[in-house]
């Protein structure tokens, strides 16, 4: 009972938040996808692996890392203007370089770079001031720099590695530093899964003891993998595959990490940005299925979030400023939406939000199979509450709403259906 109680409290803000900023920032921002004059295919933060860069070579990047334009307050301001409620930043990615001050290794941003500052400390202060939650991504399994971490077969003899020693004498003490020295840590975002269920359990218990309020991502691993909880393991929520939006609603807490282009860590030549409209519609789709969107930015080696990312985020933020009521604290509707349907449906008790992506040419918006699932008492436009819209039931329980000729918002116009008593047993 006690754990259930804490579990409920721990996730409460997260369910409300729905939209967070992922930040992948590390030494890989310097090569930015290019090594020895060659463009290295693949995601930018994997360049050490993909180009098989020896530890001794990759380490030299640290001496060149001086992100003098880094401004924690500016990053937090951008996240806030985008309508994001939390930030998760890479404290240590697979390359093993620590973006925080640590006693466990000198291979960290404070001791090994000309920059000499601790950006996580500065971010934690900025987040506290601005009321955003802060979480850390920490690569608990892969570490291509540490002799006992997993994955680096080009420098180390894998048969001589002692992963458990790395986990106990390196990972756990570092997590303790992260949980003790940076104020309340909202999320620990583990990746890949921990090699054995026993070690995943050990890690989880360790985090819980130190910081019971910290949410643990689904990729900690361990636990049972069932069809309904594919990627939850011992974590507090399901982490979907990178960029994988599920086809239908999931009746559990879940999150999808997503890139704005085709990389997490900055790549100088990746310009394949998703449009603001696409991001808004993806966010709506995700919330309509009960999940959270963790949307990534990859800052440059100078410490700036790339301008094209900022432009997209600000546009998304503008939409959320007008329509946030239908996102924050909302979840899946008790309604099945056709997967290619021109609308999505988010829900709060007593309120159904119809998100219209494709405006009907004949002024009749058909909501399929709504009978018995929702019971509207009134219909209106979210942005023009005084405009009430007539509706009727048609055919096999379709709700047909008469809408104005033109969409108020070409990305997504939101219609509110107010219900009487919330329906029991369908949510």
Binder to ligand H79 among 118, 191, 253, 270 (CB under 6 A)?
A: 191
Nearer to ligand H79, 242 or 392 (CB): 242
Torsion angle of C-alpha atoms 43, 49, 50, 53, degrees rounded to 10: 120
Q: Shortest approach of ligand H79 to residue 50 CB, angstroms?
A: 6
Pick the closest to residue 59 from 152, 137, 122, 121 (CA basis): 152
Cβ at position 94, least distance to ligand H79 in Å = 6
As measured in angstroms, the least distance from the Cβ of 402 to ligand H79 is 44
Q: What count of residues does the chain have?
A: 427
Would you say 343 and 367 are in contact if contact means Cβ atoms under 8 Å apart? Answer: yes
Listed in order, strand segments (DSSP E) in 101-252 are 133-138, 187-189, 215-216, 238-239
43 sits near ligand H79 (criterion: CB under 6 A): yes
The least distance separating ligand H79 from the CB of residue 267, rounded to whole angstroms, comes to 12
Dihedral, 208, 212, 217, 220 alpha carbons, nearest 10: 0
Asked whether position 44 contacts ligand H79 by CB under 6 A, the answer is no
Distance from C-alpha of 107 to C-alpha of 101, rounded to nearest angstrom: 9
Give the residue, chosen from 31, 257, 298, 376, that forms a contact with ligand H79 under the rule CB under 6 A. Answer: 257
- Residue (51 or 123) nearer to ligand H79, CB: 51
Is 143 buried (19+), middle (13-18) or exposed (0-12) by CB count in 10 A? buried
- CB count in 10 Å sphere of residue 5: 9
Residue 72 binds ligand H79 (CB under 6 A): no
Residue 218 has what DSSP assignment? Answer: G
Residue choice 45, 253, 285, 304 for contact with ligand H79 (CB under 6 A): 45
Q: Which stretch binds ligand H79 (CB under 6 A): 6-14, 44-52, 115-123, 243-251?
A: 44-52
> Judging by beta carbons within 10 Å of its beta carbon (0-12, 13-18, 19+), is residue 58 exposed, middle or buried?
buried
Q: Is 39 in the site for ligand H79 (CB under 6 A)?
A: no
CB of 305 to ligand H79, least distance (A): 17
- Phi then psi dihedrals of residue 142, to 5 deg: -80, 130
**Nearer Cβ to ligand H79 (296/326):** 296
CB of 139 to ligand H79, least distance (A): 8
- How many helical (H) and strand (E) elements, i.e. helices and strands, does the chain have? 12, 19
Q: Taking CB under 6 A as the rule, does residue 264 contact ligand H79?
A: yes
Judged by CB under 6 A, the stretch of 42-50, 177-185, 204-212, 386-394 that binds ligand H79 is 42-50
User: CB under 6 A: which stretch of 29-37, 45-53, 115-123, 376-384 binds ligand H79?
Assistant: 45-53
- Binding residue (CB under 6 A) for ligand H79 from 130, 162, 205, 242: 242
Tokens describing residue 258: 């997503």
179 close to 211: Cβ distance less than 8 angstroms = yes
Contact residues: ligand H79, CB under 6 A? 24, 42-43, 45-46, 49, 191-192, 242, 257, 264
């Amino acid at each position: 009972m006690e754990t259930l109680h804490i579990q409920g409290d721990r996730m409460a803000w997260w369910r409300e938040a729905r939209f967070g900023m992922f930040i992948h920032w590390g030494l890989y921002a310097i090569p930015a996808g290019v090594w020895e004059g060659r463009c290295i295919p693949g995601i930018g933060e994997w360049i050490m692996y993909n180009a098989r860069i020896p530890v001794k070579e990759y380490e030299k990047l640290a001496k060149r890392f001086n992100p003098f334009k880094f401004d924690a307050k500016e990053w937090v301001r951008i996240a806030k203007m985008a309508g994001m409620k939390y930030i998760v930043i890479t404290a240590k990615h697979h390359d093993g370089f620590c973006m925080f001050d640590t006693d466990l290794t000198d291979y960290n941003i404070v001791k090994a770079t000309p920059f000499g500052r601790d950006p996580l400390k500065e971010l934690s202060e900025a987040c506290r001031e601005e009321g955003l939650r802060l979480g850390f991504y920490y690569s608990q399994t892969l570490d291509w720099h540490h002799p006992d971490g997993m994955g680096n077969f080009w420098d180390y003899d894998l048969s001589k590695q002692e992963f458990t020693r790395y986990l106990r004498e390196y990972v756990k003490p570092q997590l303790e530093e992260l949980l003790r020295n940076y104020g309340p840590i909202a999320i620990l975002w583990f990746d890949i899964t921990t090699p054995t269920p026993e070690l995943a359990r050990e890690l989880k218990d360790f985090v819980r003891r130190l910081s019971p309020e910290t949410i643990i991502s689904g990729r900690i691993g361990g636990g049972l993998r069932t069809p309904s909880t594919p990627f939850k393991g011992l974590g507090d929520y399901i982490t979907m595959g990178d960029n994988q939006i599920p086809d239908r609603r999931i009746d559990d807490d879940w999150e999808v990490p997503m890139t704005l282009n085709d990389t997490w860590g900055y790549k100088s030549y990746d310009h394949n940005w998703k449009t603001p409209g696409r991001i808004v519609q993806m966010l709506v789709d995700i919330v309509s299925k009960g999940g959270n969107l963790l949307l990534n930015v990859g800052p440059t080696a100078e410490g700036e979030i790339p301008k094209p990312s900022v432009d997209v985020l600000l546009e998304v933020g503008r939409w959320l400023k007008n329509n946030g009521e239908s996102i924050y604290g909302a979840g899946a509707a008790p309604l099945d939406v056709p997967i290619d349907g021109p609308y999505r449906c988010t829900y709060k008790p007593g309120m159904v939000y119809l998100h219209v992506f494709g405006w009907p040419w004949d002024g009749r918006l058909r909501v399929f199979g709504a009978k018995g699932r929702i019971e509207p008492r009134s219909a209106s436009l979210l942005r023009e509450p005084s405009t009430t819209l007539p509706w009727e039931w048609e055919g096999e329980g379709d709700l047909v709403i008469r809408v104005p000729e033109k969409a108020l918002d070409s990305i997504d116009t939101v219609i509110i259906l107010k219900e009487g008593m919330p329906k029991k047993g369908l949510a």
